[in-house]
Structure formats: C-alpha cells, structure tokens
Amino acid sequence: MKRILVTDGLHAVGVDALRKHGLEVDEAGTLAEADLAARLGAYEGLIVRSATKVTRAAIAAGGKLEVIGRAGAGVDTIDVEAATERGIVVMNTPGGNTTAVAEHTLALLLALTRRVPAADATLKAGRWEKSRLQGVELFGKTLGVLGLGRIGSEVARRALGFRMQVIAYDPYLTREAAERLGVEPVELDELLARADFISIHAPLTGDTRHLLGEAELARVKPGVRLINCARGGLVDEQALADAIRAGRVAGAALDVFEQEPPPADHPLLGLEQVIATPHLGAATDEAQTAVALAIAEQVADALLRGVVVNAVNLPSVDAETHREQAPWTGLAEKMGRFLAQMAEGRMQEARLVCSGEITGHPTAPLGLAFVRGVLGTILSEHVTDVNAMLLAKARGLRVTETSTTEAPDYASLLAAELRTDRATSSVAGTVFFKREARFVQIDGFALEALPQGWMLVFANLDVPGVIGRIGTLCGRHGINIAGMQLGRERRGGRAVSVLNLDDPMPPAVLDEIRGMPDIVFAKLVRL
C-alpha cells in the first residue's frame, strides 16, 4: 500500500477520497523543513497547500517520493527543480480556486475604491467621517490586468460587467485571444501609464519577482490603485510603501506578502491607504472542496495508474488519452530498452519518429518513455518521465523526436535509432488491435517479433544450417524457445533473427553462438 503525507489542513473530502482509493494517508499541520525531511522518507506521495515549504533538503530526504501535489495553483513553495532532478512529478490544481480568487480580487477592488475598511473602523470607533472617506467609481475607469490566465481572465470578465475598460499585459497570450475576451492587449509600459487600477495575476518566477518594483512604480499613472491576490514577491513591498507615501500610488489592496504572515512592523501595514487580508483568495468552502478533491484524484491517478494531470514539470495527458496511448508508451519504452542493450560504445544520439494516426495525440509522452527506456537500462539513478531529458542532457545524449502523418504499410508506426561512437542500431514497432505491441523491423530487416521477456537477437549470413545449429544448442542446454522470427535482405545475403526464450541464456552458451560460422553478432536482451 502506498503512503501519502498530507500537510497544511487539506479539506477532509480530499483525505477521504485518497483513502477510498486504498491509499494510506497520514495528516500533519504545517511542517518546518527539518520536520518534513524527517518524515518524508516513508512516503510515496506528498500533498501541501501554501504553508509548508518543500525545499531541496526535504526532497532529498524523500527517497521513495514519486509525486508532490499542491492543492492550489502556485508552486513557488516547492523546489520544482530539485524534484525534477530526482524524477518526482510536481502537480497543481490550477482551476479549482479560479472563481474564489477572482471574486476576492473584485471584493478588494470595491473595498479599495469605496474605502470600506477605513469607514468600518472609524464608525465603530465612534467617529462619523463621511466627508473624509469619499471614494471613486469603477465605471469608465481603466483596469490593467498583469497576466491574463485563468484568474486574470475571470477578473477581466467581471470588470467588464462594471463597464470598465480592461487592458492587459501577458507576453504569452496572443492578441486574438485577448480581444476575444473584450480586452485590449498592451505592453507593460503602456499598461503602467494608462491604468487607473492594476490587478496582478502572474506566477512567481525568477523573471517575475518584483515585476512591479521601484522603476515600474515610478512610471505608473498618478493616483493608481494596486490589487495583488497572486503572490507577494511580485511586488517590491518597500517600493510600494514609498510610492504610497509619496502620493504617486493612491492605495493598495494586498492578499499576499513576500513573508507570510508579515512582520508587525511591515511598512505597508501602518498605512491607511492599504487594505490587507491574510491570503484569503482561495479561502472559500467551494474552492477548498474543489482543490482538495482535484489533488486527491490527481495524486491517486499518478500513484496507482500512472496517469499524470496538471504536472508542472511533465507533459500531461487526460485519462482517456493515457489509456489509448498506454500500449504505445509501453512499446516506446521497450524500444529504448532494446536499443540500449543492443548498442555498443558511447551513446551520442537517440532518435524517435512517430508516424501515422498516433500523431493525432500528443507525442511528447512517447519520446519521454523512449528516453526513459534507454537511460533506465544503463543508469543506476531512478529514471522517470520527469528527469529523463535532464539526465540525457547531463550525459551528452542528444534526443530528437519528430512526427509525420505518413506511415507506409502501417496505420501508425514508431521508429527509433540509437547512435553511438561505433555504430547505429534501429528498431521499429507498431501496435495491433490497439493492444498487441510488435517489433516490425530491426536494423532495417522486416520481421514481426514479440517484445517481451528474454530475446536472443542475432545476425548471420543466410546459409543453410544456422538456425538448426542454434536450435540444437538451445536444446542441449535445456533452453526452451518460445517463439522465433526471421528477416533477411535476400537469399544468400544477411539475415536477422529473434528468438523468444523462456529462460535466460548462460553467457557461455551465448559465447558459443558467437563463435559459430556465419554468425555476424549475437545479443541477449531482456524486456
């Protein structure tokens, strides 16, 4: 039974869902790095929210760890690079809290424009300060959205309902996609100069940290108001405090901070122009239920069925596509394992060509499975789809994966090559009846071999008696031949044969075959 550690108070529906899948679940509160590292070695899965920091040291202690799930969208609290190096899938639930965060953004926007928190506080303190607390309207104002992903798009839709003009900066979104939302795409400098309100909805990365810093805040439209329900590190908080005190920024509403909780002497908390909430964007009953159920299902699928959805460090496919592609990914991995055992010399390039109907689905998982098969055969490290390309690059193995809709003789075909400093080996395969994988070509020789178990692969000159001598030798040593396939270029030329064996062939017997007349090479492969 696989075990999962759940921290940060995941909603009970998620924990129950994991247990219903037959997984053993242990719950903990927010864990410090040392406490997490001390516990993580016993688990295949880890689920966190936003409080527990999954550091490189903690990941290194998780020797059995296969998947880290984030109940929410942001993964800046997880060292994704360290997880990738160790072959661990990192997944999130990007859609579960979209509505909650978008609505919280609008709540802060309205509270900021009408000065609701200050009005509430002064009235409860016994003061009637109606004239001092005059606000502004949203109608006709310009909202600048930084990041037009799921949440940013929902904020834009709601702002349009208030009859605001919405402009957006998102370097990864096409102009056509923005315009379909009724949003005007602009560059960052134009957004800063035109926006009456700026709402941030970008992920926190090395490139986006302090996206709004001192230089950017110096270029904003005077009197702008800022809302941040994304990540604290996106804003230089000291620079924002200085801009508010200088009067360039009229106010800010912040749900997130670089340090959470922020220290009592934080420069923004003492300003009346600032509204602050304790990271409540996703804190609704509906959102927490949705993300808990989503991450539970995703982690269970990954651990129990190998289906990976919403991975941030791995191409993901949906469950139906995974089922359809399973025979092909299995074939691709076996082709990699086969070539790794056939090859001699230092590996230089691994190449996979996907042809025919199979290209109607994403082919990246096939390329990963192929490389995983190659490297998993020769390396002592744990090789997974997550770290396969990273390990290949580290070892100087060039990997290419191409696709074509043309597949002569077959509806779909995978063709692979492994080039070393000595020679190039190749194999091609297909899947019959949506489930039966076969090798249909080895080193250019057409045949139909079953890729499983022990396989004796040999090339010989096509002369009488070779097959008989090998059969006699196997019989003399008690090695049962389960199947045989032969391919040849022409009569009297060269031939390649594959024998499926019930048991491994002793090295001495293999050496005897290699010493036979007319044998070019002989290899024992296990798939």
Q: Which residues are catalytic?
A: 231, 260, 279
Task: Tell me the DSSP string of 235-268.
Answer: B-HHHHHHHHHTTSEEEEEES--SSSSPPTT-TT
Give dist(CA 312, CA 175) in Å, integer: 25
Give dist(CA 89, CA 45) in Å, integer: 10
Torsion angles phi and psi, residue 499, rounded to 5: -110, 120
Written as six digits, the tokens of 432 are: 């019959």
Contact 234, 211 (CB under 8 A): yes
Give dist(CA 151, CA 200) in Å, integer: 10
Give dist(CA 171, CA 503) in Å, integer: 58
Give dist(CA 130, CA 128) in Å, integer: 6
Pairing of strands 197-200, 436-442: unpaired
Written as six digits, the tokens of 349 are: 């390039």
Q: What is the 8-class DSSP label of residue 47? A: E
Contact 485, 429 (CB under 8 A): no
| β-sheet bridge partners, residue 388 | none
Contact 72, 283 (CB under 8 A): no
SS3 call for 411? coil
Give dist(CA 221, CA 167) in Å, integer: 14
Give dist(CA 174, CA 157) in Å, integer: 17
SS3 call for 162? coil
Q: For helices 285-305 and 319-342, what crossing angle results, to 10°? A: 30
Distances in Å between the Cα of 425 and the Cα atoms of 15, 178, 323 are: 49, 48, 30
Preceding peptide of 327 cis, ω within 30°: no
| β-sheet bridge partners, residue 61 | none
| β-sheet bridge partners, residue 353 | 402, 415
Cα of 258 vs its chain's centroid, Å:
25
Contact 377, 336 (CB under 8 A): yes
Task: Tell me the DSSP string of 84-124.
Answer: HHTT-EEE--TTTTHHHHHHHHHHHHHHHHHTHHHHHHHHH
Q: Per this entry, what is the length of the chain?
A: 527
